[in-house]
Chains A and B, each alone.
Chain A
Amino acid sequence: MTITKNQQGTDLTIALEGRLDTVSTRSLEAELKSCLEGITALRFDFNQLEYISSAGLRVLLSAQKVMNQQGSMAIFGTNEEIDEVFEMTGFCDILTVEK
């Protein structure tokens, strides 16, 4: 998986490409730990993301909890499978998914 970050002031967009599986989730987790300080708007670009595992969901949930305290978080560019995963796990109600 490739992680691309684009920060403008306190806005950060993270683009993910490939599979957010259990192993690649670890790199995302490490990135998020180091880069969320001072961020008020976090956006995830999922246009090139094929699928998300439950480990990936857990990292999104932690990021959401952090951003609840300091600003906003949104996800865009999700494919049909990822939408279904968000639906089946109820994550569609706790995350902001832009269409």
Chain B
Amino acid sequence: MAKKQLTLEAELESITPLFALLEEMLQGEEGKTVRQILNAAEEIFVNIASYAYDQGGTVDISVEILPEPHRICLIFQDEGVPFDPLSRGEVDTTLSSAERKIGGLGILMVKKMMTSVAYQWEYGKNTLTLERNLTKKDGQL
């Protein structure tokens, strides 16, 4: 099965090759699923680009299509400040617009759009693993 890796500068503007790679690897998958995966990948990349490093650094990303169940596995690794995005408290989605606070929404969206999300701190790296089950456009697994 296909596996690709890329290393990007941890800066917001550097995300384009990741979008291109995901679109290439997800060709033939349902449009909605593809857009949700791009959306989740963006949220994670932006978090790393915004908070991991004080003075710049890189993000290693691996993208793999796996069988049984047919799914995509995305791994993000950075050597920035140890931070488990999953440890944040849940956002209160019932508050009114006046009471709503900014922040935490990206991770909430990622958790809801992905089949699984896991964080590990290993070998001095933040490692975030996202998986999303896939269904081919024609409905066949």
Contacts and interface: CB of A to CB of B under 8 A. Distances in A.
Interface of A: 19, 21-23, 50-55, 57-58, 61, 64-65, 68, 80-81, 85, 88-90, 93-95
Given A50-B35, A89-B108, A94-B100, A21 B42 contact: yes
Given A52-B39, A61-B100, 7 more contacts: A22-B42, A51-B38, A55-B106, A68-B98, A80-B32, A90-B91, A90-B93
Nearest to B32: A81
B43 A53 contact: yes
Contact of B46 (A19, A55, A61, A90): A55
A23 B13 contact: yes
Contacts of A89: 91, 93, 105, 108-109
A81 B108 contact: no
Contacts of A94: 95-97, 100
A54 B106 contact: yes
Interface in B49-108: 91-98, 100, 102, 105-106, 108
A93 B98 CA distance: 12
Interface residues of B, number: 27
B12 interface: yes
Given A22-B42, A54-B109, A89-B105, A68 B97 contact: yes
A55 B46 CA distance: 10
Contacts of A51: 35-36, 38-39
Contacts of A88: 93, 108-109, 112-113
A50 B98 CA distance: 27
A80 B12 CA distance: 27
Contacts of A22: 12, 15, 42, 46
The listed residue with most B CB atoms (<10 A of its CB), out of A65, A68, A90, A93, is: A90
Nearest to B93: A90
B36 A81 contact: yes
Interface in B101-126: 102, 105-106, 108-109, 112-113
